[in-house]
Amino acid sequence: MKGEEKLWTILNDKLDTLRATNRLPQAIRVAETALEIAKRAFRGTDLPLATSFEKLGQLLDQKGDRAAAKGYLLKAHAILEKVNPPDQRAIYRSARRLAFLCDSLGQSEEAVNFTRKRSPRAPKSKTFIIRISAPC
């Protein structure tokens, strides 16, 4: 593990501790620092970078700054959609979180779009038509 990657891991542990003890302002500062390190240490499609964007977005949402949170959560979601192989559960959770956030911001149409969103790499589901007939 390289130095910056190790520092990122340490900062994330610190962030989790601060968050657990409800020290939101300090947690946000650590999350911002962790994000800057993640931008240098990881590629644009690496999961740790998405994690950093997501954690900062969640903290800002928790603080009540939903408009700022949305930008970070959108960046995290975009990275999650590019990760290969895709983590369907992570994409689903991210889309649901964004749907809830958009709804809170009064952006109903965008919220509905995230509710319907799924991974671009997900296999197409088949539609089955079931014929129901009345009993004879």
pLDDT at 29 over 50: yes
Tokens of residue 111, six digits: 């919220």
Cβ–Cβ under 8 Å, residues 105 and 68: no
Over the chain, what is the mean pLDDT? 86
pLDDT, position 119: 44
Q: What is the C-alpha separation between 2 and 136, in angstroms, rounded?
A: 73
Q: How far apart are the first and last CA of the chain?
A: 71
Domains of the chain are: 3-116 (1.25.40.10)
Q: pLDDT per residue over 84-98, tens digit each? A: 888 889 999 999 999
Q: What is the pTM of this model?
A: 0.81
pLDDT number for residue 1: 60
pLDDT given at position 118: 53
Question: Does the pLDDT value for residue 78 go beyond 70?
Answer: yes
User: What is the DSSP code (8-state) at residue 69?
Assistant: H
Per-residue pLDDT reduced to its tens digit, 37-72: 999 999 888 999 999 999 999 999 999 999 999 999
- Distance CA(87)–CA(47), nearest Å, equals 10
pLDDT category of residue 109 using cuts at 50, 70 and 90: confident
pLDDT at 130 > cutoff 50:
no
pLDDT over threshold 80, residue 121:
no
